[in-house]
């Protein structure tokens, strides 16, 4: 699927920092999907922004990391009921963890092994599928 596709509604990032996956524990607000579960950086599209711009903006807002667009290594478009979701992957050195400034879109953040995420009872199942595919686990 090309990046100029106009029907995507959001983008997520499978971000490895020092080989560990960055996850955000979702808030417990009633009515949101998967409250309290382990989320990936990313979120909803604003205006007509591209999928890359969306995931880079959301990552900056949620964890304070400014990634260059060229740092996104993979792009997968997944058909969902609301349109397409776009998943990217990127890797940063372990030192990047010291640059994280947690925003206000979750309870907390942590780094965990990708396999631990896949087997965690609070993973978001369709995100786990993308982690498995993008990291070839």
**Encoding tokens for residue 94?**
């372990």
| Structural domain contains residue 1 | no
Question: What is the number of domains present in the chain?
Answer: 1
Residue 115's φ and ψ, nearest 5 degrees, are -65, -40
Q: Which of 62, 51, 53 is nearest to 22 (CA)?
A: 62
Domain range for residue 59?
A: 8-134
**Encoding tokens for residue 70?**
């060229």
Q: What is the pLDDT of residues 31-86, one digit of tens each?
A: 898 999 999 999 999 999 999 999 999 999 999 999 999 999 999 999 987 789 99
Helix (H, G, I), strand (E, B) or coil at 93: coil
- For 75-108, b/e burial (b = at least 16 CB within 10 A) is bbbeeeeeebbbbbbbebeeebbeeeeebeebee
Residue 3: per-residue pLDDT: 44
Of residues 1 and 18, the one with the higher pLDDT is 18
Q: What is the pLDDT of residues 90-108, one digit of tens each?
A: 999 999 999 999 998 899 9
Query: Does the pLDDT of residue 1 top 60, yes or no?
Result: no
Residue 113: per-residue pLDDT: 98
Cβ-contact 92, 99 below 8 angstroms: no
The CATH code of the domain that includes 103 is 3.90.79.10
Residue 6: per-residue pLDDT: 67
Measured between alpha carbons, how far is 13 from 9 in angstroms, rounded to an integer? 14
């Amino acid at each position: 699927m090309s990046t100029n596709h106009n029907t995507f509604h959001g983008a997520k990032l499978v971000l490895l920092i020092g080989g560990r996956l960055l996850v955000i524990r979702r808030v417990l607000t009633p009515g949101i999907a998967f409250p309290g579960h382990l989320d990936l950086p990313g979120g909803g599209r604003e205006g007509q922004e591209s999928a890359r711009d969306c995931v880079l903006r959301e990552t900056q807002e949620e964890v304070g990391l400014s990634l260059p667009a060229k740092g996104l290594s993979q792009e997968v478009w997944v058909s969902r009921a609301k349109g397409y979701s776009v998943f990217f992957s990127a890797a940063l050195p372990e030192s990047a963890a010291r640059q994280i400034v947690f925003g206000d879109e979750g309870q907390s953040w942590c780094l965990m092994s990708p396999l631990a995420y896949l087997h965690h009872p609070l993973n978001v199942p369709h995100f786990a599928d993308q982690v498995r595919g993008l990291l070839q686990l």
